Structure 1
């Protein structure tokens, strides 16, 4: 019995009680909730449905809970129900019904855990989107891990998700990048506001190799060559490092496209038509204060160039015109000031920012070793880059570590911890559990012990077996909740708990018979349980973009 099935049974029992009493059934929630209990003496699951509806129907919650318990006790697969506290239902599930989850997991394979929680959502998910003025740094690495995990989670919950990388190849920072390259190519000092790091010299040399004539061109033409060629080379490196991280985007979108297609002008015209653009001090301003921003924003400068928000306006409209109902942006800690202006921008277009825009603001990552800050990269100046992280701890550890914590908390990433082959390294702990399960299944095959085509789930009555079965049954709800709340760290913490539950089971319950014994039905049932647990661990690791090795 899956928790969702039990929740339906609880809802049905409550509806039946209200109907019998002639009470208003509209007070019932759309879905009943059941949660795993922390202590076995309190049952396998608990529900507070009686407490939710008692006030609405004028019946004391314990009295209502007693009637619901009487109905629920007759439901197939329910072993017992008791009323606890002010009106909680503590529910015990029969071993055969609980163990049926194991059969379902093995048969569904990598589809297990998928839900329809977000089935009606069509989402554009933009993350990383680092400017093409240098390699992806450690902050961007975190958003690469978190963003990809979010995309996987939301798809697993039924959403239609397109991942997008916005390549900001226009504006003042690109001009500074081009001037920095040109200075490096000429052997001159980098401009005071320019970019530093060995990579600048490397890219400058590559531009000269591509265009040997560039240094003989007039300065404005030379700078344009360095801009175009430098951005292209930097973008190639960004894509290559993302691929090395195991990440591919559905769409790479260039800001320059918005200008070339006239979309910036079109967005400006629409906002003007709607009455939110006004002249002041020779420039034109977007009246974002009308919708809660702390100040209005320059949309067109006095020299005729576009303000920064102009491309944001055009890009948002472009996404909406491509059919996305919700635009999600994953932004770094230095972008808190963008929240008010972007929400106001959406409102200026006459749209609802609560419905169409979602901003996820993350916190910083600090690399440490022995409790002290670490600087890994000379090539990128003071930055720590994506390739630095990969070289230091590997892709799996980096992805897991960066997705393991809530995005609104800063991370101190201990490089020694995440390379350690021991149980205090969370990713090793989870991957080792999967490898241990694969080893059990290999040994069974080598000894000719087959799990068979089916098994008797009623045999899984040991306390440790029950703990493991309940943990496995919770996986779809963890996936759905993590997707809905945009919190991939919930999956990581679940996997660590599941690995621990498995180790306790394996240390207590013998899975394979001794060499001189014939396999029993209990051995076969436990093999099903091992295989199901391995499937869930692999599915959860996949959601985080992490491998599930069979050997370690």
Structure 2
């Protein structure tokens, strides 16, 4: 069971308690679960009972007991304990956890860079309207990619004639003007123009100026990494190959993941197949949790028109990949022979590289094999 699975399981328990009138409180949109701290009980913990106690008019431990009764015996959960003022502590079924990790890695391998794509927004036909400004154009393009990946049929509208230099930043010229073809009537056109306005804080430079200073990849990342209501940092640090540069870290993590696969191929070491277990360490579990959460991040970034959410998640995946790589090197060292553990770690590295490449592609940023 992954953290996302556990969060969903707890949320279902809350809904069941409310449905059965054992708990009278609004059901939260999501339930947060976290790794227990050193010395704590179980594998994960949640403060959801403390969150619900006030609205329910009950003590937090009483709410926790109501939820524990509905969580005991849940698939993948070996035990539930109440600690402190009302924390729920979960011990997971190791067998179920191993199966979930194995299935996740296999799914990423099967779906490739389209992992996380879906039909959550199928049937929607949003119009993204933006001013004639480079950050707005790049943001609209990234949002269009995210919405399309979730099944939406997206159109883009600009207040003026699109800047020819936007295409050099990866902005699709074909995305503009489709509403005139699909809705030729004046009334329909007016309705189409009442789309979602995307007006992030202006970049303060033109596309040509950004391309000259930063190039397309760094310029796009810089324009998208900050939330739309914040100023986009667009300094020379975006092209510095240092650890302080988030873009470099994400792309370097992808390049390292690909290097692991090349190294395994040179050694004749196979990647773990669908039937093989995934080596469970603290570092690999943390990385797999982020890979498991990736589809939900894509849906959220699309719904909220917020590509910065995806950029931040890729940074987290890159950081977790480096921790994993350092704690449990995927490739054997020296005269060490490739083992099942190495095959497993290589499979995890491959999955991480795939998610990083897919996420960068949705942001319109390239993912080089070598850096």
TM range (shorter): 0.7 to 0.9
Gaps of 5+ in 1: 131-139, 169-234, 268-316, 332-361, 367-383
CA positional deviation for 1:488: 1.5
CA positional deviation for 1:119: 4.1
| Alignment correspondent of 1:123 | 126
- Write the distance in 2 (CA, Å) between the matches of 1:45 and 1:110: 30
| Alignment correspondent of 1:472 | 291
Partners of 2:45 and 2:88 within 8 A in 1: yes
| Alignment correspondent of 2:81 | 82
- Write the distance in 2 (CA, Å) between the matches of 1:471 and 1:409: 25
CA positional deviation for 1:51: 4.7
CA positional deviation for 1:63: 2.0
- Write the distance in 2 (CA, Å) between the matches of 1:329 and 1:125: 6
- Write the distance in 2 (CA, Å) between the matches of 1:413 and 1:42: 45
Instruction: Please tell me whether residue 62 in structure 1 is matched to residue 61 in structure 2.
Output: yes
Instruction: Please tell me whether residue 390 in structure 1 is matched to residue 258 in structure 2.
Output: no
Which residue, 518, 526, 533 being the options, matches 2:337?
518
| Alignment correspondent of 2:222 | 401
CA positional deviation for 1:433: 0.7
Q: Helix, strand or coil: the match of 2:367?
A: coil
| Alignment correspondent of 2:260 | 440
| Alignment correspondent of 1:144 | 137
CA positional deviation for 1:448: 0.6
| Alignment correspondent of 1:103 | 106
**In the superposition, relative to structure 1, how do residues 4 and 509 fare at CA in structure 2: closer, same or farther (>3 Å)?**
closer
Greater Rg over alpha carbons, structure: 1
Partners of 2:249 and 2:318 within 8 A in 1: yes
| Alignment correspondent of 2:157 | 164
The structure carrying a bigger strand percent of its residues is 1
Q: Helix, strand or coil: the match of 1:446?
A: helix
Deviations along 1:3-47, whole A, 9 cap, x unmatched?
55334422443455567xx53678563865344448464765554
Q: Helix, strand or coil: the match of 1:387?
A: helix
Gaps of 5+ in 2: none
Deviations along 1:209-259, whole A, 9 cap, x unmatched?
xxxxxxxxxxxxxxxxxxxxxxxxxx6xx33x222211114443499x89x
- Write the distance in 1 (CA, Å) between the matches of 2:262 and 2:143: 33
Partners of 2:225 and 2:232 within 8 A in 1: no
Across the two proteins, how many residue pairs are aligned to each other?
Answer: 364
| Alignment correspondent of 1:498 | 317
Instruction: Please tell me whether residue 531 in structure 1 is matched to residue 350 in structure 2.
Output: yes
Scaled by the length of structure 1, the TM-score of the pair is 0.59
- Write the distance in 2 (CA, Å) between the matches of 1:464 and 1:246: 35
Deviations along 1:374-402, whole A, 9 cap, x unmatched?
xxxxxxxxxx4312211211111111111
Alignment of structure 1 residues 330-409 onto 2, 5 Å: 330-331=198-199, 362-365=200-203, 384-409=205-230
**In the superposition, relative to structure 1, how do residues 79 and 509 fare at CA in structure 2: closer, same or farther (>3 Å)?**
farther
Scaled by the length of structure 2, the TM-score of the pair is 0.84
RMSD: 3.3
- Write the distance in 2 (CA, Å) between the matches of 1:544 and 1:57: 42
CA positional deviation for 1:77: 2.1
**In the superposition, relative to structure 1, how do residues 46 and 544 fare at CA in structure 2: closer, same or farther (>3 Å)?**
farther
Which residue, 189, 194, 212 being the options, matches 1:318?
189
CA positional deviation for 1:98: 4.8
CA positional deviation for 1:97: 4.4
Moved more, 49-58 or 440-449: 49-58
- Write the distance in 2 (CA, Å) between the matches of 1:539 and 1:454: 21
**In the superposition, relative to structure 1, how do residues 125 and 510 fare at CA in structure 2: closer, same or farther (>3 Å)?**
same
Deviations along 1:449-508, whole A, 9 cap, x unmatched?
011422543631x22122212222222222222223322112112211221111111111
- Write the distance in 2 (CA, Å) between the matches of 1:511 and 1:153: 32
CA positional deviation for 1:445: 0.7
